[in-house]
């Protein structure tokens, strides 16, 4: 199998604001104090994610459901690779 470089967008644990994290997790019935514990426990982060060389970041979502950062990553895949990412 021939290896080729592919890319895909991956959701991260980074939110631009605490309010975005609250809105995002409210959809999953997570209370704000539990979101605070996720932040305190470094399970999720507020701010902008650090990027490796060649990566791109994009803010996705809306004000109603919360925004979070996605990162475009590169990986090696085969020519006949049919995985859905």
Instruction: List the chain domain ranges.
Output: 3-77
CB-based contacts of 44: which residues, under 8 Å, 6+ apart? 13, 14, 15, 21, 35, 38
Query: Per-residue DSSP letters for the chain?
Result: --EEEEEEEEE-SEESSHHHHHHHHHTTT--HHHHHHHHHTTSSEES-----TT-EEEEEEETTTEEEEEEEEEEEEETT-----
What pTM was estimated for this model as a whole? 0.81
| pLDDT tens, residue order, the chain (85 aa) | 677 788 999 999 999 999 999 999 999 999 999 999 999 999 999 999 999 888 899 999 988 899 999 999 888 876 665 555 4
């Amino acid at each position: 199998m021939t290896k080729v470089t592919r890319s895909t967008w991956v959701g991260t644990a980074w939110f631009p604001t605490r309010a975005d994290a609250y809105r995002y997790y409210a959809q999953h019935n997570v209370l704000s104090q539990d979101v605070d514990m996720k932040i305190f426990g470094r399970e999720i982060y507020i701010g902008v994610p650090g990027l490796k060389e060649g990566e791109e970041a994009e803010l996705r979502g809306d004000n109603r459901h919360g925004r979070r950062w996605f990162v475009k990553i590169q990986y090696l895949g085969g020519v006949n690779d049919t995985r859905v990412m």
